[in-house]
């Protein structure tokens, strides 16, 4: 039984003032999570700690309530949890043998009993996406954990007399002890790394994010966290044929585990390889049950008029989506976004992410999810396949691959020209980015004796999983949760990442084709044209009306003498941005001039709406 917990969590540990006496603060934090969990609310509070939960009810409404408590001798454990486990039934069976008794069928209960049985070790047994907290009432200590790949978010702030934590930054800012302060490091993140973030960094002063695959305890001695999992390079013994078979098993098993749901479920279908694989497996699953799958694709007003084929976007999606749908028994929904809607959604996207993001790439996903939510409550999406199987141009183009620096962000000098006044002299842009790049390379595990190409490919996978993909997962979680839509990402199954990490590059790049290994593993599932289609990124608008509209809005912002944007960003650089189409990518291949202008609009809106204080 798959139980969905689309929800938000937050909490306070306070050694000086009993949280149970500060109910208004707790309710304020809870209110920020309403979009993540609109249906059911719960608060647990005692003299040292409070746990706050907001839930969207889908299954086991009564017995899945949170915070959930369990008595264990004279200890009482209290849990709040956001996520889902895909191996719930196996864990429940194992716990039943150890004499655990269950009241309902929610995976929340399995997480709580697993913690009671195995303590911090429980996270190594979970296959799922999660962020959760357990308060041990007698011991007066808090356990925090996050899933291996980092699909579900968890931010925290250490205060002089305690700790705040929550699914989103806005939950922390709702607490009276917090304000939104930005120092030069935060400015460097926004202007040099953004819309990415240095792992663990929450951009605002005093806010951090628990990194993926980390857990830890907070008590009166402070916070102690550690990594419970990492990708390690091993000698790959399997033949190519056996590797193909294992990939097929892992991919299909992951998708099927994530199709379990008691509510309507659909798939995002772009006509690309990854979403088509998920849709094909889902379609077979639905047909076996005599049901019909819903598939969803996104388009932009007038895009076919303005689309130009390029290196990164060789073909439009329309034909491939049509061919894919003809091979499925699914009901397809084609969602078309208008240019003016995209503009207004730029600001909603900031409030969903709590930070400036991928401009119209975020805004369009937010609008797309809002429409999908009219039809289904759960959707499956293809994120993570490119990172794990090496689908991006920067894996495959030897020239791009050999270049020093983050492959998706080769524009540090260009970005630095936007820094205003003191920030320009205070921040050493090259050193700030280089330091992070060097640390990221060192984090990649490479076995003894690997040749140069294998070493570089391991670095690329590590860079992509720990940096680029985190931006995409942030985007997917916040934009979907903004409309109470749960998006699952089957390629983010840690078993796939773990197995593929050691697979030689020559296998992954079979026949010199991007994701050649994955294509071989699913060749009987897809129409030939879709199976061998060249990679195309998430669609963006090519309509010149969009560039015109964001330019008009940025000029309005610049005319406002009180614009907080101009305290951070050089007016001269903005003037040049509006006049010259230099098309230097700001981030990845999707953010060129129109999106850079839109990013500046998002930054301005964020500074105003979040009342950011420049420290």
Model confidence at 1, pLDDT cuts 50, 70, 90, reads: very low
- How do 294-300 and 265-268 pair as beta strands? parallel
324 contacts: CB under 8 Å, gap ≥ 6:
269, 271, 276, 279, 280, 526, 527, 530
Considering the candidates 7, 48, 215, 384, report the single residue annotated as catalytic.
7
Beta bridge partners of 299: 336
pLDDT for position 308: 61
Q: In what order do the strands lie in the sheet with 486-488?
A: 331-337, 294-300, 265-268, 378-380, 486-488
- Express as a percent the part of the chain with pLDDT over 70: 95
Q: Are 430 and 423 within 8 A, CB to CB? A: no
pLDDT tens-digit map of 212-237: 999 999 999 999 999 999 999 999 99
Q: Please write the tens of the pLDDT for every residue from 404-432.
A: 999 999 999 999 999 998 999 999 999 99
7 is catalytic: yes
Give the model's pLDDT for residue 318.
81
How buried is 205 (Cβ within 10 angstroms: 0-12 exposed, 13-18 middle, 19+ buried)? Answer: middle
CA angle 457, 460, 465 (to 5 degrees): 130
pLDDT of residue 105: 84
Mean pLDDT in residue range 493-516: 96
Rounded mean pLDDT of the chain?
93
Least confident range from 55-59, 158-162, 207-211, 502-506: namely 55-59
- Per-residue pLDDT reduced to its tens digit, 49-59: 999 999 866 55
The pLDDT value recorded for residue 2 is 46
pLDDT classification of 79: cutoffs 50, 70, 90? very high
Q: 563: which residues sit within 8 A by CB, 6+ positions away?
A: 557, 604
| Assigned token pair, 52 | 């706050």
Q: How far apart are CA 217 and CA 135, in angstroms?
A: 10
Residue linked to tokens 């000698």: 235
Q: What is the pLDDT of residues 517-538, one digit of tens each?
A: 999 999 999 999 999 988 777 7
% the chain with pLDDT above 90? 83
Q: What is the pLDDT of residues 287-322, one digit of tens each?
A: 999 999 999 999 988 777 765 655 555 556 788 898
Cα 286 to Cα 10, 276, 489, 492, 524, distances in angstroms = 36, 15, 18, 22, 18
The pTM of the full predicted model, rounded to 2 decimals, is 0.96
Judge whether residue 459 has pLDDT over 60.
Answer: yes
Report the distance separating Cα 324 and Cα 332, nearest Å. 10
């Amino acid at each position: 039984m798959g139980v969905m917990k689309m929800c938000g969590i937050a909490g306070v540990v306070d050694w000086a003032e009993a949280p149970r006496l500060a109910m208004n603060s707790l309710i304020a934090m809870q209110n920020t999570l309403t979009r993540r969990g609109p249906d059911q609310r719960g608060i647990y509070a005692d003299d040292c700690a409070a746990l706050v939960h907001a839930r969207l009810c889908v299954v086991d409404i009564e017995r899945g309530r949170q915070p959930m408590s369990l008595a264990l001798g004279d200890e009482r454990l209290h849990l709040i949890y956001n996520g889902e486990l895909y191996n719930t039934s196996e864990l429940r069976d194992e716990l039943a043998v150890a004499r655990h008794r269950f009241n309902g069928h929610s995976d929340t209960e399995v997480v709580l009993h697993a913690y009671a049985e195995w303590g911090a070790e429980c996270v190594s047994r979970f296959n799922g996406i999660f962020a959760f907290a357990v308060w041990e009432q007698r011991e007066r200590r808090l356990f925090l954990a996050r899933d291996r790949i980092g699909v579900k978010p968890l931010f925290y702030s250490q205060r002089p007399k305690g700790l705040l934590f929550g699914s989103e930054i806005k939950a922390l800012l709702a607490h009276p002890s917090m304000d939104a302060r930005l120092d030069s490091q935060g400015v460097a993140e926004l202007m040099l790394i953004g819309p990415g973030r240095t792992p663990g960094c929450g951009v605002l002063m005093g806010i951090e994010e628990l990194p993926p695959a980390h857990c830890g305890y907070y008590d009166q001695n402070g916070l102690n966290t550690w990594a419970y999992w990492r990708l390690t390079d091993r000698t790959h013994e399997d033949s190519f044929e056996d590797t193909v078979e294992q990939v097929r098993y892992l991919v299909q098993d992951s998708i099927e585990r994530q199709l379990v749901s008691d509510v309507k479920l659909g798939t995002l279908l772009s006509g690309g390889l990854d979403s088509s694989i998920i849709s094909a497996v889902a379609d077979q699953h639905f047909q076996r049950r005599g049901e019909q799958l819903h598939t969803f694709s996104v388009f932009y007003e007038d895009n076919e008029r303005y689309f130009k084929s390029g290196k990164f976007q060789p073909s439009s999606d329309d034909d491939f989506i049509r061919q894919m749908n003809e091979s499925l028994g699914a009901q397809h929904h084609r969602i078309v976004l208008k240019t003016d809607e995209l503009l207004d959604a730029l600001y909603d996207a900031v409030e969903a992410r709590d930070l400036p993001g991928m401009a119209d790439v975020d805004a369009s996903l937010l609008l797309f999810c809002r429409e999908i939510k009219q039809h289904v409550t759960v959707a499956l999406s293809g994120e993570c396949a490119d990172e794990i199987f090496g689908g991006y141009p920067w894996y495959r183009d030897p020239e791009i691959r050999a270049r020093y620096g983050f492959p998706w962000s080769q524009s540090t000098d260009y970005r630095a020209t936007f820094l205003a006044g003191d920030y320009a002299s205070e921040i050493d842009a090259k050193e700030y980015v280089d330091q992070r790049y060097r640390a990221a390379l060192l984090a990649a595990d490479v076995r003894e004796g690997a040749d140069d190409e294998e070493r570089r490919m391991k670095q690329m996978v590590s860079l992509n999983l720990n940096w680029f993909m985190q931006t995409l997962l942030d985007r997917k979680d916040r934009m979907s949760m903004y409309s109470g839509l749960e998006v699952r990402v089957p390629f983010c199954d840690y078993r796939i990442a773990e197995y593929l990490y050691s697979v030689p590059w020559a296998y992954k790049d079979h026949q010199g084709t991007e994701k050649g290994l994955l294509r071989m593993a699913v060749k009987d599932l897809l129409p030939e044209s879709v199976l061998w289609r060249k990679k195309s990124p998430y669609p963006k608008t090519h309509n010149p009306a969009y560039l015109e509209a964001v330019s008009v809005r940025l000029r309005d912002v610049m005319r406002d003498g009180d614009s907080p944007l101009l305290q951070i960003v050089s007016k001269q650089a903005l003037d040049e941005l509006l006049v010259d189409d230099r098309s230097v990518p700001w981030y990845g291949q999707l953010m060129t001039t129109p999106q850079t202008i839109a990013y500046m609009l998002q930054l301005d809106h964020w500074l105003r709406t979040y009342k950011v204080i420049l420290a």
